[in-house]
């Protein structure tokens, strides 16, 4: 049986201009998500609107968590965006 080894968080630097993600950046994100389960996008300071557009561009469909799993600290305008601090 193969051992599953994952990093705590794979750090990536992705360029996101004009709400467009290149295909090579998408491929990198997909690959790292599959192998690590979690990624950290370095130096991306996005507004909730930009976060929503980034996710929509990357995955095409945004899945809302059911109320029992949802975060309490949601952005008022973009309920799909959870507000996290000290991360």
From the centroid of its chain, how far is CA 53? 11
4 is a domain residue? no
41 is a domain residue? yes
Measured from the Cβ of residue 61, the count of other Cβ atoms closer than 10 Å reads 6
1 is a domain residue? no
How many structural domains does the chain have?
1
CA distance 33 to 10: 8
Residue predicted with more confidence, 77 or 71: 77
Placement of tokens 């909730």 in the chain: 48
Q: Which pLDDT score is estimated for 42? A: 75
Whole-structure pTM value: 0.63
pLDDT for 52 beyond 80: yes
Question: What does the CA dihedral 77, 85, 34, 27 come to, rounded to 10 degrees?
Answer: 60
Q: Which pLDDT score is estimated for 38? A: 72
23 is a domain residue? yes
């Amino acid at each position: 049986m193969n051992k599953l080894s994952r990093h705590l968080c794979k750090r990536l630097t992705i360029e996101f201009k004009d709400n467009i993600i290149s295909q090579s950046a998408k491929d990198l994100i997909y690959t790292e998500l599959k192998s690590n389960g979690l990624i950290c996008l370095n130096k991306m300071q996005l507004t909730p609107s930009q976060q929503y557009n980034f996710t929509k561009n990357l995955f095409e469909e945004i899945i809302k968590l059911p109320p029992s799993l949802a975060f309490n600290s949601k952005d008022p305008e973009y309920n799909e965006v959870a507000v996290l601090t000290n991360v």
